[in-house]
Chain A
Amino acid sequence: MTHRSIPEAHRPAAADASSSHDDIVVAAFPSSIDLADLYGEEVAAIAAMSFEDRWALAGEMAQAVASLAALRDAR
């Protein structure tokens, strides 16, 4: 995992990032977190998926686990 350094000017003591509308907080700078760096390409790909695709993937994974369990039980 890589550790990005936060620019000194962006540290809270130097810059209070909260601003604007009462219920909205505006970030001091855009996020540079890279999910692929943190967790790999597979997770980054899942993050980009729609609900429907994630649901289908959950079904595939559930079926794979069920099949493995059935194989184990058959032994």
Chain B
Amino acid sequence: MRGKVARLEAVAEVMRALEAHGVRSLIIGGIASAVYGGKSVTKDLDLQLQIERPDMERLQDALSSVQAKVIAVPTELRWEYLERGFWVHFECEHPSLHGLHLDVATRPFGAAPFDEMWSRRLSRTLPETGTQAHFVALPDLVSLKKTRRKDDWATIQLLMDLDYHGGGDAVQREQVRFWLRELRSAQTLIECVARFGGEAIKLTAERPLLGLAIQADHTGVADALDEEERLARRADEARMRPLLDELQRMRHTARRSQ
């Protein structure tokens, strides 16, 4: 029990350190997924930061205050890396943080401009600590999860089904459109289309597989969802390839210099 509390306190302490240094952050990744009901198992705190080049000193100070040490490539925190979409990975060595792993980025692929994401955030007071934390909104989390990794797509499917399940019978139009754009299980999508048919018809040009859902073609919808995922994963792979190759070169360089 103590370990559980300690780890949550560590998250709160990092949030406090960033806030004390005027660095805005959104919790994304596995912890955000868990807050929305996902089954994500993670020991990392993934943060998207609102940082520009002149703010780097404040960020360095905040990270120093929790004794965050870089544990992977890129081997140092530089604006150039953050600006290009790299994640920088830390372990917090401060005794009260119990080795919390902290990953930070400012412009991860798939992210909308920070100000937009901030305006949509979910803010909650963390239990037992009184610390205010800001979680990425579900639509933004879904955008961030559209990666080359299959696991991320399974997470999107679950999170969307949970969101749909939690919705009522009279729903904001934007909420319905979000479901119609992003639901990823055939059964749920077909039901959603049947319940909110007018909106579904309007979005068919944008997401053609809704046409199959209108016909309640389960196999067709399932196949089209697979194809949608395949294309998006391939696009992410292509988009990420230069960075992945560069990370690989960084690892080689780091090994040679050890």
Q: 8 Å CB contacts to B: which residues of A54-75?
A: 54-67, 69
Q: How far is the CB of B103 from chain A (nearest CB, A)?
A: 13
Asked if B34 and A47 sit within 8 Å, CB to CB, the answer is: no
Please indicate the chain B residues that have their CB under 8 angstroms from the CB of A20 in the complex. Answer: 170
- Which residues of chain A from 19 to 33 have a CB within 8 Å of any chain B CB? 19-20, 22-33
| Chain A residue with the shortest CB-CB distance to B219 | A3
Q: Taking the nearest CB of chain B, how far is it from the CB of A16, in angstroms?
A: 4
Task: A62 to B37: give the CA distance in the assembly, Å.
Answer: 15
Q: Which residues of B line the A interface, CB within 8 A?
A: 3-8, 31, 34-35, 37, 39-43, 98-99, 124, 126-127, 158, 161-162, 164-167, 169-174, 176, 185, 187-188, 190-191, 193-201, 214-216, 218
> 9 A-B contacts, Cβ less than 8 Å apart?
A4-B187, A5-B216, A11-B194, A12-B198, A15-B197, A17-B196, A58-B8, A58-B34, A66-B43
Nearest first, the 9 closest Cβ-Cβ pairs linking A and B are: A12-B197, A18-B198, A58-B34, A27-B195, A59-B8, A6-B194, A65-B43, A16-B198, A63-B3
Interface residues of A (CB under 8 A from B): 1-7, 10-13, 15-20, 22-33, 35, 38-39, 42-43, 46-47, 49, 51-52, 54-67, 69
